[in-house]
């Protein structure tokens, strides 16, 4: 085991590069998330937020750079070694990504049964408990997820992510496409569940309200790099023009100029 002292960051990313053809999406991302902390990555559409997350999860292979979880390098892992890392991770996808061949409780119990080898009966019990924690009634257990609204699907996705009690939780745009009330509810659920599990959380979003609510630390990604990273409370007077423009949703500023020039 790599050294796991109290101050080893739970997730440490350094020098992460990824290009798709001519498109250099990530040009040296450096990030650290401490144990039990919550980081939000903000940034414009197409800035590489989802790609960063998928690299950390091992869904996309980065061109270069290091990703360490609990101090242990994960970039080269495959097969069982990768699955062991993933068994400690929960992920809520942008579009919920529920399995439409399974009903709600089977979706929520999937990780318990596949990765942790739990039998169907106790897994169902645990799935129902996880559903209750995100405000889903037990009578939804047998419903097909395709019949649920977007907000309900996000809740099922959240229940599926938390059911195996992971140490790390990833949220890809948890509030995008939801009305303000449902966004607020999802934010609160995320905060409560992360706190209860004592998990480390990494959220990517372009919803500033959500980022401020969920995160201890906010990082902004721009042109493949982290251009600013600091405590959530400092973001309003950080003095970085790109960040200022982004959080005030101004159409004029350094970001708009780049778009015109490009």
Partner 1 sequence: MNRWNFLAAIGRIFIVFLNTTGHLILFTATALRHVVLPPFFLRITFQQMLRIGYFSLPVVGLTAIFTGAVLALQIYIGGSRFNAEGFVGQVVVISMVRELGPVLAALMLAGRVSSAIAAEIGTMRVTEQIDALTTLATNPFKYLVAPRLIAATLTLPLLVLVADIIGVMGGFLAATQRLGMNAGIYMKSTMDVLEVEDVTSGLTKAAVFGFLIALMGCYHGYNSRGGAQGVGAATTDAVVSASILILLFNYILTDFFFS
Ligand X SMILES: Nc1ncnc2c1ncn2[C@@H]1O[C@H](COP(=O)(O)OP(=O)(O)OP(=O)(O)O)[C@@H](O)[C@H]1O
Binding flags for ligand X, 197-236, as an x/- string (CB under 6 A): ---------x------------------------------
* Piece of 5-13, 47-55, 222-230, 238-246 that binds ligand X (CB under 6 A): 47-55
Q: Check if the beta carbon of residue 42 is closer than 8 Å to that of residue 240.
A: no
Shortest distance (Å) from residue 203 CB to ligand X: 12
Please identify which residue in 10, 31, 38, 43 interacts with ligand X, judged by CB under 6 A: 43
* Piece of 46-54, 119-127, 144-152, 229-237 that binds ligand X (CB under 6 A): 46-54
Q: Check if the beta carbon of residue 167 is closer than 8 Å to that of residue 160.
A: no
Angle between helices 241-248 and 254-261 (to 10 degrees): 90
Q: Check if the beta carbon of residue 231 is closer than 8 Å to that of residue 217.
A: yes
Tell me if 76 contacts ligand X by CB under 6 A. no
Tell me if 171 contacts partner 1 by CB under 8 A. no
Which one-letter DSSP state was computed for residue 25? E
Cβ-based nearer residue to ligand X, 50 or 106: 50
Angle between helices 180-197 and 150-162 (to 10 degrees): 0
How far apart are alpha carbons 56 and 228 in whole angstroms? 20
* Piece of 106-114, 134-142, 188-196, 205-213 that binds partner 1 (CB under 8 A): 106-114
Pick from 193, 98, 219, 99: nearest CA to 152:
98
Tell me if 52 contacts Mg ion by CB under 5 A. no
20 binds, among partner 1, ligand X, Mg ion, none (CB under 5 to 8 A by kind): ligand X
Binding site for ligand X (CB under 6 A): 20, 23, 25, 43, 45-51, 206
């Amino acid at each position: 085991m790599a050294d796991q002292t109290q101050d080893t960051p739970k997730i440490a990313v350094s020098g992460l590069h990824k290009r798709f053809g001519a498109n250099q999406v990530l040009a040296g991302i450096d990030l650290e998330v401490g144990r039990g902390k919550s980081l939000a990555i903000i940034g414009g559409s197409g800035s590489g937020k989802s790609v960063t997350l998928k690299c950390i999860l091992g869904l996309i292979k980065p061109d270069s750079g290091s990703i360490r979880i609990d101090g242990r390098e994960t970039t080269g892992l495959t097969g069982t070694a990768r699955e062991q890392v993933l068994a400690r991770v929960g992920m809520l996808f942008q579009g919920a990504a529920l399995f439409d061949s399974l009903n709600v409780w089977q979706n929520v119990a999937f990780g318990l049964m596949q990765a942790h080898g739990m039998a169907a009966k106790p897994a169902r019990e645990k799935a129902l408990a996880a559903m209750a924690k995100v405000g889903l009634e037990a009578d939804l257990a047998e419903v097909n997820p395709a019949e649920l609204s977007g907000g309900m699907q996000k809740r099922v996705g959240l229940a599926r992510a938390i059911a195996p009690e992971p140490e790390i939780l990833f949220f890809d745009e948890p509030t995008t496409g939801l009305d303000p009330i449902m966004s607020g509810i999802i934010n609160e659920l995320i905060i409560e569940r992360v706190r209860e599990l004592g998990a480390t959380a990494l959220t990517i979003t372009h919803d500033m309200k959500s980022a401020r609510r969920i995160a201890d630390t906010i990082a902004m990604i721009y042109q493949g790099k982290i251009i600013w990273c600091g405590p959530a409370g400092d973001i309003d007077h950080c003095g970085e023009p790109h960040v200022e423009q982004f959080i005030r949703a101004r159409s004029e500023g350094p970001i708009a100029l780049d778009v015109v020039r490009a």
